[in-house]
Amino acid sequence: MNQLEQLKQYTTVVADTGNFQSIREFAPQDSTTNPSLILRAVQQEAYASLLEKAVRDYRHESVTAIIDRLLVAFGCEILAIVPGRVSTETDARLSFDTDASIQKGRELIALYEAAGIPRERVLIKIASTWEGIRAAEILEKEGIRCNMTLLFSMAQAVACAEAGVQLISPFVGRIYDWYKKSTGMEYAGEEDPGVQSVRRIYAYYRKFGYKTEVMGASFRNTSQIVSLAGCDLLTISPELLSQLAASDTPVQRRLSQEMAMADPVSRMEIQEKSFRFLLNEDAMGTEKLAEGIRLFCADTRRLEQIVEAQRQK
Amino acid letter, 110:
A
CATH number for domain 3-311, candidates 3.30.70.2740, 2.60.40.10, 3.20.20.70, 3.40.50.720 = 3.20.20.70
pLDDT above 90 for 145: yes
User: Average pLDDT over the chain, rounded to whole?
Assistant: 96
Average pLDDT over residues 102-113: 98
DSSP helix, strand, coil percent of the chain (3-state; round to 5):
60, 10, 30
Average pLDDT over residues 32-41: 90
Contacts of 242 (CB under 8 A, 6+ apart): none
pLDDT the model gives residue 51 = 94
Say which of 8, 104, 125, 207 is annotated catalytic: 125
pLDDT the model gives residue 130 = 98
Higher pLDDT, 189 or 112: 112
Query: What letter does residue 209 receive in the DSSP assignment?
Result: T
pLDDT above 90 for 133: yes
Collapsing DSSP states into helix, strand and coil, what is residue 88? strand
Q: What is 124-143 written as a DSSP string?
A: EEEE-SHHHHHHHHHHHHTT
Query: Per residue in 40-91, pLDDT tens?
Result: 999 999 899 999 999 999 999 999 999 999 999 999 999 999 999 999 999 9
pLDDT tier, 313 (very low <50, low <70, confident <90, very high otherwise): confident
pLDDT tier, 35 (very low <50, low <70, confident <90, very high otherwise): confident
Average pLDDT over residues 224-235: 98
104 carries an active-site annotation: no
Q: Exposed e or buried b for every residue in 261-293, given b needs 16+ CB within 10 A?
A: eeeebeebebeeeebeebbeebebbeebbeebb
Q: Do the Cβ atoms of 6 and 251 come closer than 8 Å?
A: yes
Query: Per residue in 207-228, pLDDT tens?
Result: 999 999 999 999 999 999 999 9
pLDDT the model gives residue 169 = 98
Question: Distance between CA atoms of 152 and 193, rounded to whole angstroms?
Answer: 11
Q: Residue ranges of the domains in the chain? A: 3-311
